Structure 1
Amino acid sequence: MLAAGIHGFILAFGLILPLGVQNVFVFNQGSIHKKYRRVLPVILTASISDTLLITLAVLGISVIVLQIAWLNILLLSAGILFLIYMGYLTWKSTPSDIAAQQEAFPPRRQITFAASVSLLNPHAIMDTIGVIGTSSLTYSGPAKITFALACILTSWIWFFGLAFVGHQIGRLEKTNGILGIINRISAMIMWGTAIYLILNFK
């Protein structure tokens, strides 16, 4: 179970770390609002949305795939290829291209926008169903629950931390440089996770 928890943490962290619309929105709202508590609507919405996607992926995909060997292999292979590809795109991405400044949204607009970029984002769906869901197939029973909880906990910690860092850093010119470093680290984590899946491929 410990191995499943560590795997879930590393995998979820590698998938959630890349700079995308969801992360940029959370980070920017944190940097723009003068009080951290005013960013709670976007933090909670993003965290709950990820929890929903992860839960559906782990429960739904496993039920369908466990009894179909060729589909199991197909999805695991797709997950590995997706990690390698996303790692490549993340490594080459330029934060300044998408880190456009946002206005300080009120609570209702924060919730609406955060939910849309979380639940309607093809990358988020691919991350959960294509990678987390298929990775969960290597576990069963308590180990699978531990894996899922580790992924969910990582998501919650990330969004609270991301908004807090954004709040502390503010809108400094050095922000893009920091996000660039984060992207490089993220790419290496995704490639490392792909190697892990290959080594444990069944």
Structure 2
Amino acid sequence: MFSSAIHGFLLAFGLILPLGVQNVFVFNQGALQMRWVNVLPVVLTASICDTILILLAVFGVSAVVLGFIWIKTILIIMGILFLTYMGYLTWKSKPSANATDGQLLGANKQIAFAASVSLLNPHAILDTIGVIGTSSLSYSGPEKVVFTLACILVSWLWFFGLSIAGRIVGTLDSTGRFILALNKVSAIIMWGTALYLAISIK
């Protein structure tokens, strides 16, 4: 069971590590919020969404999603529209020292955006469901449970750590220049991902 735990941990870490839309959003909110506790809605939502995707992957939904081309196409189109819109909002947003400024997302908007970033990102869904789902076929019984829990643990630790790192950067960056630059980079990543998804439609 130890080997299945290591496998799950390394596999999930490799999938979640790249600088994607979800990671950028969590880090951004960590940097923008006045207190770290205010970013908990986005952290918990992202973690829960990943947990759901991992559980779906392990329990075989990957076969359904990957088996029907029209499901994949719908996911991709929704993802393109969402990422384009999110990229526009992120590009236009500016850091502010005023906690009541409209650029700081409240709990409800954090949850909605985090859920959208997590569940309307076809690339992440197909990666998570496809890779983790396929890898889980190697295990059964207690080993599969350990493998699944290891994957889930990585997501929770990663998002909490990412939000804390964002909060530290936000505290040190009193001028707001770093956050402003990060917003531009984030928007470009979102638009690049949307373009990649558009090209991948077959």
Bin of the TM-score, shorter chain as denominator length: 0.5 to 0.7
1:162 matched residue in structure 2: 162
Q: Distance in 2 between matches of 1:58 and 1:141?
A: 12
Aligned position for 1:23:
23
Indicate the residue corresponding to 1:59 in structure 2. 59
Equivalent residue, structure 2, for 1:104 = 104
The corresponding residue for 2:37 is 37
The CA distance in 1 between the partners of 2:161 and 2:148, in whole Å, is 20
Return the alpha-carbon distance in structure 2 between the equivalents of residues 24 and 128 of structure 1: 18
Q: 1:20 deviation in Å?
A: 1.1
By how many angstroms is 1:34 displaced?
A: 1.3
- Give, as a single letter, the amino acid of the residue that structure 2 aligns with 1:37: V
- Distance in 1 (alpha carbons) for counterparts of 2:151 and 2:164: 20
Counterparts of residues 146-185 of structure 1 (less than 5 Å) = 146-170=146-170, 171=173, 173=178
Distance, in Å, in 2 between the alignment partners of 1:123 and 1:160 is: 22
Q: State the secondary structure of the residue aligned to 2:60.
A: helix
* One-letter amino acid of the counterpart of residue 105, structure 2: F
Unaligned runs of 5+ in 2: 67-89, 95-102, 186-202
CA displacement, residues 14-37 of structure 1 (integer Å, 9 cap, x when unaligned): 101111111111000000111000
SS of 2:18's equivalent in the other structure is: coil
5 Å-filtered alignment, 1:77-88, equals: none
| Residue 142 of structure 1 pairs with residue 142 of structure 2 | yes
Instruction: Give the AA of the match of 2:20.
Output: G
Structure 1's unaligned 5+ residue stretches are 66-70, 72-98, 180-202
**TM superposition outliers: structure 1 runs of 4+ over 4 Å:** 99-102
Deviation of 1:169 after TM superposition, in Å, equals 1.2
The corresponding residue for 1:47 is 47
Helix, strand or coil at the partner of 1:163: helix
Q: Deviations over 1:168-194 (max 9, x none)?
A: 012564986xx9xxxxxxxxxxxxxxx
CA contact (8 A) 1:43 1:163 kept: yes
Equivalent pairs counted in the alignment come to 144
TM-score by structure 1 length? 0.65
AA partner of residue 58 (structure 2): V
Deviation at 1:52, TM superposition (A): 0.4
**Distance (whole Å) between structure 1 residues aligned to residue 178 and residue 163 of structure 2:** 17
Q: Structure 1 stretch 122-131 or stretch 166-175: which is displaced more?
A: 166-175
Q: 1:61, CA displacement in angstroms? A: 4.4
Aligned-pair distance for 1:118?
0.4
Could you tell me the TM-score, scaled by structure 2's length?
0.65
Distance 1:57 1:49 in 2: 12
- Cross-structure match for 1:2: 2
